[in-house]
């Protein structure tokens, strides 16, 4: 069986790689029980370092919208050149 793909960076998520589930609409904004996607942990951290819960709920509640955000698009281009197990510290909220 092949590894699942991270829908954000499109790299495989191998067994044992840091990963997490992302609620497309944040739980605190009505997304509890809503759709979730499996992401690399580094991709998930970058989403939350870039966008507020309100922004995620209002405007960035699809994978397509997340991939189109300028800062996330630059991050995805950068991380896409890294191996699937790659993990790095993500700077604090909203650079």
pLDDT recorded at residue 95: 42
- Tens of pLDDT, residues 34-72: 999 999 999 999 999 999 999 999 999 999 999 999 999
How is residue 84 written in tokens?
A: 């699937």
Report the C-alpha gap between 78 and 70 in whole angstroms.
Answer: 13
Q: Could you read off the pLDDT of 9-32 as tens digits, one per residue?
A: 999 999 999 999 999 999 989 889
> pLDDT tens digit string along 79-93?
999 988 887 765 555
Instruction: Give CA–CA dist 15/3, Å, rounded.
Output: 7
Within 13 Å, how many C-alpha atoms sit on residue 11's CB side?
23
User: What is the domain partition of the chain in residue ranges?
Assistant: 19-79
**What is the spatial distance between Cα 87 and Cα 94, in angstroms, rounded to a whole number?**
19
């Amino acid at each position: 069986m092949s590894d699942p793909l991270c829908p954000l960076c499109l790299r495989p998520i191998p067994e044992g790689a840091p990963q997490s589930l992302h609620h497309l609409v944040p739980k605190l904004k009505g997304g509890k029980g809503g759709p979730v996607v499996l992401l690399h942990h580094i991709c998930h951290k970058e989403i939350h370092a870039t966008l507020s819960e309100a922004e995620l709920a209002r405007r960035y509640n699809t994978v397509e919208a997340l991939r189109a955000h300028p800062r996330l698009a630059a991050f995805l281009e950068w991380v896409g050149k890294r191996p699937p197990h790659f993990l790095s510290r993500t700077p604090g909220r909203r650079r």
